[in-house]
Amino acid sequence: MLKLRRKCEAQSHLLFRNPILLLLLSPMMSDQSPNEPLPEPATRPVGGTEYSWCRAVPGGTGITVLALLLAKPPDLSLLRNALHNLQKIHPILRSRMHFDPVANTFSFVIPSSPHLEIAPFDLSATSRILNDGDGDGADAARTTPFHRILEHEMSRNAWRDSGADVFHASLYHLSEDRWALGLRLHTAACDRATAAALLRELLLATGGGAEGRNGEEEEEANLGMEELIPSGKANKPFWARGMDMLGYSLNSFRLANLEFVEAEPPRCSQMVRLKMNREDTQKLVAGCKSREIELCGALAAAALIAAHASKQPADNKWEKYAVVTLVNCRPYLDPPLSVQQPGFYHSAILNTHDVCGSEKLWDLAKRTYTAFANAKSWNKHFTDMADLNFLMCKAIDNPGLTVSSSLRTAFVSVFEDTVVDKSSTLYEEIGVGDYIGCASVHGVGPSIAIFDTIRDGELDCACVYPSPLHSREQMQKLIDDMKRILAEAD
């Protein structure tokens, strides 16, 4: 009996020294006595791409926001349980960002249990937030309270200091019959595919009597993207890497940008929405399909044409613009990951395009998409990953290397894959009147980031830009011109 007791004590001691075992066994230990020591959190160093986002987010780029407009008062207990369930299923969502100043490294610190709390803002507190915006009366008149709450969330930066949670939730009382739920996540733990999947899981958990997806914690999602790239796919000869780095650097001085309204900081992220009706959306999608291109090619082309026209240049004056296309790498990893596995698993492909103003939408869309598709076929989304991450960090450290210290690395960013949503019936049951998903860009990044969704057959794009580098009036005109170009394309 004494030997058995000593053996159990030794095994218990081993368990409490092993955070990975604790992470896997924590569901079985939920009835732990309050007198027993708390299990140690698991820790994982961030990967290369995650590191670049850890550097970017404190400056204002990479704050992922999901904002939902609610027409029914939410059940806070049900909502909290649903969010905790997401954190149980996905350990990365309950992690904290930790920075080691000595080693200059970041890591995810993952507690054994969920701890997220919903921050409530009543009518009075919400009204103060809405009235404290930097915009003038005309600017406020062009936006709704829900719109301004989204922009407020994109500028709430909890990650300027080490130790902040990657996941935050706030509930705003907009009026007697309207509420806004804001979910704010660190982009290193939540890319656009993750955000779309989390939204679906949350709505299933809070409506229709479902409890969301249950299952074991996903250890694969706790690996950085670089660790999952298939062998040989990211290889690049040393001299080729040097030439590419030189090319990216030199090209940056030749790139055209939108006119800057006010280059001095401080900055925040604002959003203009591009929406098209079902008929125009179907026509646009059919045009892309017939030309064997994706919607991202048409969106990028429309943005390039609109930007060039906004400057009213002399006839046939050529300008070079940079387009970043973001690729969801999950299907190409080893092992492949599903969209239900959260984290940042997107990679960027940067292409430059010369525009003179006489281009037709479909010709330019074909050119921009073909350049992207060719680069992807050469595995540029893997081979150039480290190069672009390095240059991103260099721009953060040395803003003067960018035009007017604007930290603009490209004119526009688009996503290869469009989010398609057909869940309007469920939204109606829960009382979701509207929702927007996007991320901040007022640190390092493009002048305009397009987050496109086809919702019940209608195109809906959240177009995010840095303010006051660009004004709402300037960007609204650009988006209106893009919409006209897309709708009128033959």
Q: What is the pLDDT along the chain (490 residues), one digit of tens a residue?
A: 334 344 444 444 333 334 333 333 333 334 444 455 556 778 899 999 999 999 999 999 999 999 999 999 888 999 999 999 999 999 999 999 999 999 999 999 999 899 999 999 999 999 999 998 645 555 666 789 999 999 999 999 999 888 899 999 999 999 999 999 999 999 999 999 999 999 999 988 887 544 445 544 554 446 899 999 999 998 887 777 777 777 777 677 788 999 999 998 899 999 999 999 999 999 999 999 999 999 999 999 999 999 999 987 666 688 999 999 999 999 999 999 988 889 999 999 999 999 988 899 999 999 999 999 999 999 999 999 999 999 999 999 999 989 999 999 999 999 999 999 887 677 887 889 999 999 999 999 999 999 999 999 999 999 999 999 999 999 999 999 999 999 998 8
- Among the candidates 212, 229, 261, a domain finishes at 212
- 386: its two tokens: 């480290």
pLDDT value of position 19: 36
Q: Is 243 exposed, middle or buried (0-12, 13-18, 19+ CB in 10 A)?
A: exposed
Q: Are residues 178 and 70 in the same domain?
A: yes
- Among the candidates 145, 177, 212, a domain finishes at 212
pLDDT value of position 482: 97
Full 3-state SS string of 247-286: HHHHHHCCECCCCCCCCCCCCEEEEEEEECCHHHHHHHHH
Residue 138 forms part of a structural domain: yes
pLDDT value of position 140: 61
Is the CB of residue 277 less than 8 Å from the CB of residue 458?
yes
Is the CB of residue 177 less than 8 Å from the CB of residue 433?
no
Residue 261 forms part of a structural domain: yes
pLDDT value of position 217: 52
Residue 277 forms part of a structural domain: yes
Q: State the CB neighbour count (10 A cutoff) for residue 355.
A: 23
DSSP tally for the chain: helices H, then strands E: 16, 15
Residue 24 forms part of a structural domain: no
Q: Are residues 382 and 426 in the same domain?
A: yes
CATH code for the domain of 475: 3.30.559.30
pLDDT value of position 199: 92
pLDDT value of position 137: 53
In angstroms, the CA 169 to CA 165 distance is 11
Per the omega criterion (within 30 degrees of 0), is the bond before 446 cis? no
- 425: its two tokens: 């019936």
Give the count of alpha carbons within 13 A of 302, CB side only. 23
pLDDT value of position 8: 42
For residue 62, the enclosing domain spans: 40-212
Q: Are residues 53 and 199 in the same domain?
A: yes
In angstroms, the CA 372 to CA 392 distance is 20
Q: Are residues 199 and 255 in the same domain?
A: no
Q: Which residues partner with 323 through β-bridges?
A: 351, 412
In angstroms, the CA 155 to CA 86 distance is 24
- Among the candidates 177, 212, 247, a domain finishes at 212
Q: Are residues 247 and 319 in the same domain?
A: yes
Indicate the number of domains in the chain.
Answer: 2
Q: Are residues 267 and 411 in the same domain?
A: yes
H or E stretch at 78 = helix 76-89
Q: Tell me the backbone φ, ψ of residue 18, rounded to 5 degrees.
A: -115, 95
Q: Are residues 298 and 416 in the same domain?
A: yes
Q: Are residues 258 and 127 in the same domain?
A: no
Residue 426 forms part of a structural domain: yes
Residue 340 forms part of a structural domain: yes
Residue 165 forms part of a structural domain: yes
Secondary-structure breakdown of the chain: helix, strand, coil percentages, each rounded to the nearest 5 = 45, 25, 30
One-character DSSP codes across 399-446: GGGSGGG--EEEEEEEESSPEEE--HHHHHHHTEEEEEEEEEESSSEE
Residue linked to tokens 């305009």: 448
Q: Are residues 93 and 174 in the same domain?
A: yes
Is the CB of residue 478 less than 8 Å from the CB of residue 307?
yes
Q: Are residues 197 and 243 in the same domain?
A: no
Q: Are residues 344 and 242 in the same domain?
A: yes
Beta strand 432-441 with 408-415 is unpaired
pLDDT value of position 20: 35
CATH code for the domain of 46: 3.30.559.10
Q: Give the closest residue to 346 by CA, choosing from 300, 381, 310, 380.
A: 381
Confidence (pTM): 0.89
In angstroms, the CA 48 to CA 344 distance is 11
Q: Are residues 268 and 188 in the same domain?
A: no
Residue 22 forms part of a structural domain: no
Beta strands in 134-252 (DSSP E): 167-175, 178-186
Q: Is 326 exposed, middle or buried (0-12, 13-18, 19+ CB in 10 A)?
A: buried
Cα-based torsion angle of the residue sequence 247, 250, 252, 254 in order, rounded to the nearest 10 degrees: -120
Residues 6+ apart with CB under 8 A from 181: 67, 68, 70, 74, 79, 169, 170, 171, 172
